[in-house]
A and B are shown apart, each in its own frame.
Chain A
Amino acid sequence: MGTARFTGRFWLAAGIVAAVLLFGLVAPLVFRGHQVGAVVGGLYDHPSSRAWLGTDNLGHDVFTNLMYGTRTSLVIGLVAGAIATGIGVVLGTLAGYRGGAVEEGLMGFTNVILAIPSIVVLVLISIALGTRSTVTLAVVLAVTSWPWTARAVRAQAASVRAREHLDVARLSGAGTASLICYDVVPYMLSYICMAFVLQVSGAVLNEAALSMLGLGPSGGVSLGIMLHWALAWESVRTGAWWAFVPPTVLLTLLAFALLMLQSSLDEVFNPRLRRYRRRRTAAPPVALPDERPVAEGAAE
């Protein structure tokens, strides 16, 4: 137990994520002198002591945009990730645990949503909405991204359902709600945790993709919107690297760190994937700490 279980890869990933979070959420409070939308120069000025990362096509400071853009992207990612994971876990657990007609119905519904490519639904909803706040966009992203979580959670729940501790709990008279909350969901928490990490990275990347199509959050700046303007104003083909390299690097770092975090969490939770650790010489004690004693379940 304790920190010894985590690999170096986990700490590296966690460190990068923490750094990006710090940059997006704390940096705007530190550099108060930098206002979004303030014009500090001309079209694509080179980086200088005044504008550390140069200026964009409207003469705005790229560093300021980067701070606030990272914040917007992170907020969208976290909100959308939380909502999507929530919907996925509720529907997936219900389907996997109940089975039968409920499962067929819910999974049919899930597969239908999954069949419609999310980017197109996103595009259509975004156009229909007209103006989109950050939170609205997060909700729209969540609504289109929950199905795969629901599918995976269903598989997990279906396998947990067959375990014996559920029979014990059922015999002791536990109701369906209590069974699901105390005997099914806790056994999937490690998985839900990883799904959340993936959902966050997916939402950040989808937001960027949507913004690059010109359908990002209105009246603000996000990493994707920075890229959209950089592409629209040909900064790539004119060699103004400061306009598109910073958001690209931040998006890549964030996506990479989140995936690495997920995969190292997977190694922690799923011992068969572990390989680089020294094998323990002595056999571990027999009692597994996360197994609930039967007596407690019987007392319900």
Chain B
Amino acid sequence: MNLPRYLGRKAAWYLGALLVAILLNFLLPRLIPGNPVDTIVSSMSRGGVEGSQLRAIHAHYVHEFGLDKPLWQQFVLYLGHLAHGDLGVSFAQSPATVQDLIGQALPWSIALQLPAILIGWLVGNGLGAVAAYRGGWLDRGAFLGSLFTSSMPYYCVAILLLYLLAVVVPVLPPSGGYSFGNTPELSPAFVSDALTHYWLPFLSLVVVFVGGQAVGMRSMAVYELGSDYVNYDRGLGLRDRTIVRYIFRNAMLPQVTGLALSIGTLVGGALITEIVFSYPGVGTLLFTAISQNDYPVVTGLTLLIAVAVLVANFCVEVAYGVIDPRIRAANRGER
């Protein structure tokens, strides 16, 4: 039937979801008792700022964030700023804008997680497929091992790795994204320094991701192994290698979805890993923003994470609608 209508309906749904996400991002911080400005100003008053100054600062902030207008006008204002890519000014690091702060943190998070996700995905799927095909002790060992690493909370892996590889056997630096006193730049010295700081958080993410993918792939492949086409292939006397390739391809579909979705959660995927290693990414930024009641930064990050997930989900649905005839059939009402 008409693919365009399917796509159009999906697009409408995701636009609606995006709108609700924006609405929540707008409303939730304003539901906090008092309002963000009161919180900031009262924390300043503890810092010993004079009363008259405080009132001036308060009035300035209230005007700047439009808190003196009715709620719907604030929302329109908020949407207008968003359309220009303006996420506001940070409370805690005042002249810095939210988009600048995020722009500084985001590359660290992406550089940490994208390779971890891709490598973990490849290794995990290979391991899962081989374990399912070989069976026996390899399967039991690999399955239990990956179930263990994948069910281990990722921050527990991070803490234990940090203890083992930076404290017990101090081979890797214990914290930060680069050595203290270094400034981020594109020089060989800085890059090699950043790389030594990179290994620990990277390892802690990859271990967990390999486990998760291997468990998923193994159960998909075990399912495929029992299917008719595998028996037929065996009857034809095909080589194992060929059969494994067929199984791998068929078991791949949900795994590809998984990959797309985890790339969607890339931004907010490993917040606590970054906190454990004091890595200068989005997680650490969010953590400090929360502890400083820096609401513009918090909502900016929330919005970013939500948008990334929505876009990834939408892409998966579009790809499925194009690839999988069963979904088009279901859409026609032939369940």
Contacts and interface: CB of A to CB of B under 8 A. Distances in A.
B223 A272 contact: yes
Given A121-B28, A213-B290, A236-B167, A273 B223 contact: yes
A130 B34 CA distance: 12
Interface in B290-335: 290-291, 293, 298, 301-302, 305-306, 309-310, 313, 335
**What does DSSP make chain A's interface, helix, strand, loop or mixed?**
helix
B152 A108 contact: no
Assign chain A's interface to a size class: 35 or more
B335 A108 contact: no
Interface string A191-204: 00000000001000
Nearest to A108: B13
B206 interface: no
B21 A116 contact: yes
A244 B28 contact: no
A128 B21 contact: no
Contacts of B21: 112, 115-116
A236 B162 CA distance: 8
A111 B17 contact: yes
B160 interface: yes
Contacts of B291: 214
A241 interface: yes
Nearest to A118: B268
Interface SS of chain B: helix, strand, loop or mixed? helix
Interface stretch (B84-92, B95-103, B121-129, B269-277): B269-277
Contacts of B151: 201, 252, 255-256, 258-260
Interface residues of B, number: 54
What 6 pairs across the A-B complex have the smallest Cβ distances? A259-B151, A256-B151, A124-B28, A120-B302, A112-B17, A248-B156
24 contacts: A115-B21, A115-B313, A116-B24, A116-B302, A116-B306, A117-B309, A120-B301, A124-B28, A124-B298, A125-B28, A208-B155, A213-B271, A213-B287, A214-B291, A231-B275, A237-B166, A241-B163, A248-B159, A252-B152, A255-B151, A258-B151, A263-B215, A272-B223, A273-B219
Interface of B: 13, 16-17, 20-21, 24, 28-29, 31-33, 135, 147-148, 150-153, 155-156, 159-160, 162-163, 166-168, 174-175, 215, 219, 222-223, 226, 265, 268, 271-272, 275-276, 286-287, 290-291, 293, 298, 301-302, 305-306, 309-310, 313, 335
